[in-house]
Structure 1
């Protein structure tokens, strides 16, 4: 089955390459345009396993220093998986969570949600817009039409975002199935792999756009190569007041 999983990943990544490039470019233009001020950042948010996307972009070798990850413990797994699932469906937690972060008008928020149906990520899009931010959604379009929204508006994340990137993942996330007596559960999820590919495509395109505009991209070096410490500390000092988790 390991080859079957690799085949599924490759197939979905190829679908991203053939169907989502224009959406990635639109999102990258939006983000790059929001980073023209010296201390500007962009923000990344996800619930449950989707929060891994925020961590992937944060303080990353070869990644941008101007990333502010939204990492509320209520919506992460390490202090209670069941609790995170409970709060993921709630709308009223979002404004309180956003109040903990320095999110400014004109900046961008990336929201990652595979299903795009739960209250928290949909409300995050609405709340970001109320605060004057632009919203980029990374989500699967397989859910709308097959299930219902859990937000009071009846909307999915893709209905609210300014730019939507389809991660080309499947309904239910798990990609493989073996029919055996007593076992009929699909397994081997795809969304984390696909989301990570898309987010790093975005970073690559943002860096390229910034260079075209004669802006030096604030990119971290790996801490395990010589000369990195001084380089990275300068970036940390530059963004320390804007990026909460530095």
Structure 2
């Protein structure tokens, strides 16, 4: 089983490798957004949250990304009872929830977005992408192509995440996500979308870092003290989080209904 899973992951890597052109395009869009002083919005419900947190913040990552993690859609640790999985799966198919989330941000057509959903068929991520596009935000969708194509949308009009994407990336996982068949077990095990998704996210991250550096604005990368020294690690940590705050402030300064505070800021 172990060898089989590793082999399946190698096939996923081949699928990612075949998407170099698309990954480079996504990275260019994201770099343009970051260089403009804006943010790349990263959203995923359910286990797609893993890819959001893989992008930022963690070692080897840098500011410029706005991780939108709605706990009611992603907090699965209790499994059952209050804040359990059933409620989260219900909520990710409630129309209008995405609009309530994005109501918190003053979006710009200089922004970009990465919306992650393996099936591409749940309502909230689909509506997120739709709302981003309405505001002129370029949308990159990270889906599992084979699974999404064979799945049925939960939206009443049948539209999927791919219908509201300017660019589509594929995790390379199979239909149903689980990749292995165990003898005498009638259900497959060991999913692969997280593997492909994490590889794609980090490919984008690395390419964005190259583009920012070549543009004369090298990113402030969160780095371990054992690599860069304790003092520089602290400096990078503080500078990166301060930059994140400065970028995020732009998303809040003039959001929604004007106040004397926002009018003064103008």
TM-score (norm 2): 0.84
Cα distance in 2, alignment partners of residues 223 and 56 from structure 1:
20
Aligned length: 240
Cα RMSD after superposing both structures: 1.8
8 Å contact from structure 1 (residues 102, 242) kept in 2: no
Q: How do 1:147-186 and structure 2 match up within 5 A?
A: 147-180=151-184, 183-186=185-188
Cα distance in 2, alignment partners of residues 115 and 123 from structure 1:
14
Aligned counterpart, 1:113: 117
SS of the equivalent of 1:179 reads coil
Question: 1:157-198 CA deviation, whole Å, 9 max, x = no partner?
Answer: 112101111111111000001231xx3011001111110100
Question: 1:12-58 CA deviation, whole Å, 9 max, x = no partner?
Answer: 111211x2111101111111111122x32211100100011111112
- Cα distance 1:240–1:158, how it changes in 2: closer, same or farther (>3 A)? same
- The reply on whether 1:228 has 2:233 as its aligned counterpart is yes
Aligned counterpart, 1:45: 43
After the TM superposition, which of the residue ranges 214-223 and 84-93 deviates more from structure 2? 214-223
Alignment partner of 2:142 out of 138, 141, 148: 138
Instruction: Give the CA deviation at 1:89.
Output: 1.7
Aligned counterpart, 1:213: 215
Aligned counterpart, 1:85: 89
8 Å contact from structure 1 (residues 119, 152) kept in 2: no
TM-score (norm 1): 0.91
Unaligned runs of 5+ in 1: none
Cα distance in 1, alignment partners of residues 224 and 53 from structure 2:
16
Instruction: Give the CA deviation at 1:99.
Output: 2.0
8 Å contact from structure 2 (residues 221, 236) kept in 1: no
